[in-house]
Each structure stands twice: as structure tokens, then as C-alpha cells.
Amino acid sequence: MAYSTARAFGVVLHRVSLSSFPPLRNPLHRLGFLAGSSGRLLSGEAGGAGRARRIWTSVPLCMGRRSCKIAGRKDAQNLKKMKRNSKIGKEIVSAIKKGGPNPASNTVLAAALEKARELDVPKEIVERNIKRASEKGQEDFIEKIYEVYGFGGVGMIVMVSTDKVTRSVADVRGVVKDCGAKLADPGSILFKFRRARVVNVKVTDADKDQLLGIALDAGAEDMIEPTVYEDDSEEDRSESCYKIVTSGENYSVILSKLRDEGVAFEPDNGFELLPLNTIEVDDEAVDLNKDLMSKLLDLDDVDAVYSDQI
């Protein structure tokens, strides 16, 4: 499953592959042509006579496993917002370093500033990073990927944007070592994931059947319901999200249809790493992996952490 700033630490640990890959072991929503009668028929013929597109409508249920959820929903939401604002700030600095401080002539900077407005990034953060970009000695930000062997056979991808590569690799290596995990060689974990556009919609902001219809009509590749834990509170469930998975080319179509239907969606960058398969581990490994990911996300250079843990 993916673990990112888009979601609270625990709930986000449940991700699936896109519909174009082999089916996973856990029961999740799938878009496509499904045999049998357990899916809900949403449209007529598609892709050939006698074939109807269906979307699976069962709800995944995880018994117990409360330990994989971080305490304090507000803390998780605040961390998500902080990481998002930090990433936008880095994009602003990078855009200015490459094309100058004038958004009229620097289209990359103009796009970054527009994104900051859409995501309600505080004005002081934007201004601070504009000033930071012109400071002497400020280097450009570059993106790095670190791969980690977690516990119980779990793999993790650490997404970093840094102006000091030596610092970022030392910090990541230090956390991994202190937690008893191990850095993996480049490519050892990454091939297990796929980068995709994902639109997050809170369960309180959309009717499930309505959202399924929008996803299908807009040509989405997949839709994932949030993991359900037997001891979830109403607040926990209200903060969980449906995930609409789509291609980059179709991303704007999804957003447009959601706006047309009056469905609010989470303001984020839209990209996530989705595992091709997920791994179920025991509670001890869950806690160890949660602690490792939490400490990695505490690093300033780290923008997101993804995992294939169920």
C-alpha cells in the first residue's frame, strides 16, 4: 500500500494496483469487466456486445489492526498540510532558480504560484520561499528516491526533494539504521510500484454510488474504497477517502466532472505510488513499520513515504 502525505499514516497504508495489473489478495473496488453478479451494473455495453462495465462495490474490512493507525487525526492532517506546503515552497525556489523571479516570463513559476493559491498555501510561506530563492548560497532543489527494506518483507519508497543531497542521504540512512531497517539498492523496491494520478474524495463529501458513476463516466482506471477497521470511530471514517485512479491525460477530466457534480476533492498534487501487490504482516511488524515511516516523514527533506504493507 502507499503511504503518503495525502492520508493519515495508518489508513493510507492500504493501496492496490491499477486495474491493468494482476488482481490483489484484498477485496477492493475494481473498474473494468468483471464476471459474476457481485458488481453493480453502471452502464450498458462497453468494449463489445454483451459485455457490461461493472465496478466492484464490496467494502474492505480489516479486523483489528488499530495499531497501524497513528493516534491523533489532527496531527496527521497537520503533517499532511505541512508536507504539502513544504513541497510547494521547494517548487517555487526551484522555478525561480531556473527561470527568474518574474512569473510573467517564467511559466514554471507562474504555475507553482497558481498551485499555491489553489492549495491555500499561506502567503508568508510563498513570500519566504521567493526571498529564499534569491539568497546567496541557496542551491536548487533536486528530487531523489531512496528505497528501504522494512519489516516483515515490506518495501518502502522515500521521496525526497533536497538542496543538499549529502544531508538528505545521511538523514535517511540514520533513521533507517536507528530503526533497525535497511536501505535497499536502487531499483530493488521501486519496480513493485507504479506512479499514477490519484484523486482523493472524502467519504463525507460524496455518495458512493454517485462517485462510482462519475469515475466510470470519466474513464477512471480504478477506484479504491478506504480501509474499514472494526474499531474505527465515526470521526475516523469521516476523514477517510475514496481514491479515484486515472491516467495523467485523463486527470483534468476527472476533476472537471467532480466540479460539475458539486463533489469536493482533496487539494493535493494528484500523484501517488501504488504497489502492484500488497503484503500483510503481523502486528509487531506493523508497529515497527509505522514508527519507521513516521520518523522518515519527520525529516525536512522527505516529501512522502510509500509502502506496500496492507
Query: Is 177 in the same domain as 128?
Result: no
Report the number of distinct structural domains present in the chain.
2
Judge if 182 and 270 occupy the same domain.
Answer: yes
Compute the distance between CA of residue 15 and CA of residue 307 in angstroms, rounded to an integer. 9
Q: Are residues 220 and 109 in the same domain?
A: no
> Quick one: 96 and 221 in the same domain?
no
Q: What is the CATH number of the domain that holds 106?
A: 1.10.10.200
Q: Are 242 and 224 in contact (CB under 8 A)?
A: yes
- Closest by CA to 150, choosing from 13, 25, 261, 262, is 13
Q: Do residues 127 and 159 both lie within one domain?
A: no
pLDDT of residue 154: 96
Residue holding cell 466510470?
216
Q: Are residues 66 and 87 located together in one domain of the fold?
A: no
**pLDDT per position as a tens digit, 144-176:** 999 999 999 999 999 999 999 999 999 999 999
Looking at the fold, whether 152 and 196 belong to one and the same domain comes out as yes
**Of 114, 133, 152, which marks where a domain is finished?**
133
Q: Are residues 64 and 194 in the same domain?
A: yes
What pLDDT is attached to residue 188? 96
Helix (H, G, I), strand (E, B) or coil at 101: coil
For residue 21 the three cell numbers come to: 495489473
Domain boundary among 94, 111, 133: 133
Strand intervals (E) in the chain: 31-32, 39-45, 52-56, 61-62, 142-149, 155-162, 182-183, 193-202, 222-224, 228-229, 241-246, 271-275, 302-307
Question: What is the pLDDT at residue 5?
Answer: 42
Cα dihedral 262→265→270→272 (10° resolution): -130
Clarify whether residues 123 and 269 are in a common domain. no
Q: Domain boundary residue among 110, 133, 156?
A: 133
- Cα–Cα distances (Å) from 168 to 172, 173, 179, 307, in that order, read 6, 8, 17, 19
Domain with residue 20: its CATH number is: 3.30.70.980
Cα gap 140→164, rounded to integer Å? 9
Listed as ranges, residues in the chain with pLDDT below 50 are 1-74
150 and 45 assigned to the same domain: yes
The answer for residues whose C-beta is within 8 angstroms of residue 89's C-beta and 6 or more apart is 121, 125, 126, 128, 129, 132
Q: Are residue 190 and residue 309 in the same domain, yes or no?
A: yes
**Structural domain boundaries, residue 94:** 75-133
- Say yes or no: 160 and 182 in one domain: yes
SS3 state at 35: coil
Task: Read off the pTM.
Answer: 0.68
